[in-house]
Amino acid sequence: MTALLSAKGLSRSFGGVHAVRDMGVEVREGSITGLIGPNGAGKSTLFNLLSGVIRPQSGTVVYNGEDITTLAPFRRARRGMIRTFQLSREFGRLTVLENLMLSPQMQLGERLWPLFSRPSAVARGDAAVYGRAEEVMEIAALTPLRDAYAADLSGGQKKLLELARTLMIDCDLILLDEPGAGVNPALMGTLTEMIHRLNADHGKTFLIVEHDMDLIGRLCNPVIVMTEGTFLTQGVFDTIRDDPRVIEAYLGG
C-alpha cells in the first residue's frame, strides 16, 4: 500500500485535556478513508494536526514521503493537501463565483487585495482561474447559484461550496470535516455523489470525518475509529459497525 498521508504518534493536549494522544493514521493513495468516533474523540483536533492549523506536541506527519509536521497550512496546500472546516468558511458578502475565484489565493497564502474592493474580485481574476471556477461549479452543481451571495445559500449549499473551494486548487488529498453536517437529505445525495466522482473520475484521495453513517458506509474504505483521543480500530464499514468495541465507544460515557 502506498500511503499518501501517514501520521505517527501524534499527541496534543489543551490544558489537562489530551485531545489527541499517540494517534497514528494512514491514508492510502486513491482511497476514501473515513474517520469516525463519538463527540470529543479528537477528530477535529487530529484534522488540525494533519492540516497544520495546530502543531503536535509529539509525533510526525508525512505527506507524499516528505515530513510536513511543522509546515504551515498554505505550504501543505501548495503540496496538494487541502481541508475543509466543520463550520463552513465562505465569505457571505461575496458571490459563489467570487468565493471560488478567491479560493486559490486564500488557501495558498497569497494576499487578498480583492476583498478590499469587492467588484474587482472577479474582474482582476485571470482567465485560467475563471475557467477553473466554471468547471468547478459544474462539478459541484453550483452553476445556477453562481451569482448568489454565499450568505443566502442553504446549509447544504454552503457545504457544497466549501468542498468546491478545495477543487480550485490542484490538490491530491482533501480532508473533509463533517461535510454532511446540516445538509438536508436531498443535497446529501448530491454531496455523496460528488465525493464519489471526484475520487473515481478525478483521482482525488479523501479523508472524511462524518457522523452520517450512511455517507460513511457508501463511500469509505477503510473506516478508522477514534475514541478518547486515540486509535481504536479500522476496517471495512460492515465489520466496524458490528464491532463491540466500537459500539461501546459510542455508548460509553
Please report whether residue 144 would count as binding ligand ADP according to CB under 6 A. Answer: no
Close Cβ partners of 234 (under 8 Å, ≥ 6 residues apart) = 222, 223, 224, 225, 240
Among 9, 40, 109, 203, which residue sits at the site for ligand ADP (rule: CB under 6 A)?
40
129 contacts ligand ADP (rule: CB under 6 A): no
**Quick count: other Cβ atoms within 10 Å of Cβ 140?**
24
Angle 185-200/127-139 helices, nearest 10 degrees?
120
Does residue number 14 form part of the binding site for ligand ADP (CB under 6 A)?
yes
* Binding-site member from 42, 73, 156, 179 for ligand ADP (CB under 6 A): 42
Q: Under the criterion CB under 6 A, does residue 44 sit at the interface with ligand ADP?
A: yes
Question: Is there binding between residue 39 and ligand ADP (CB under 6 A)?
Answer: yes
Where in 158-204 does DSSP place strands (E)? 173-177
CB of 37 to ligand ADP, least distance (A): 6
Instruction: CB nearer to ligand ADP: give 23 or 163.
Output: 23
Instruction: Compute the radius of gyration of the chain from its Cα atoms.
Output: 18
Q: What is the DSSP letter of 143?
A: G
Which residues inside 29-48 make contact with Mg ion, applying CB under 5 A?
43-44
Among 111, 118, 127, 128, smallest CA distance to 95 is for 118
Partner interacting with residue 39 (select from ligand ADP, Mg ion, none; CB below 5-8 Å by kind):
ligand ADP
Helix (H, G, I), strand (E, B) or coil at 85: coil
How many residues touch ligand ADP under the rule CB under 6 A: the total is 11
Tell whether residue 85 is a contact of Mg ion (CB under 5 A): no
Q: Which amino acid is at 236?
A: V
Interface residues with ligand ADP (CB under 6 A)?
14, 17, 19, 37, 39-45
Interface residues with Mg ion (CB under 5 A)?
43-44
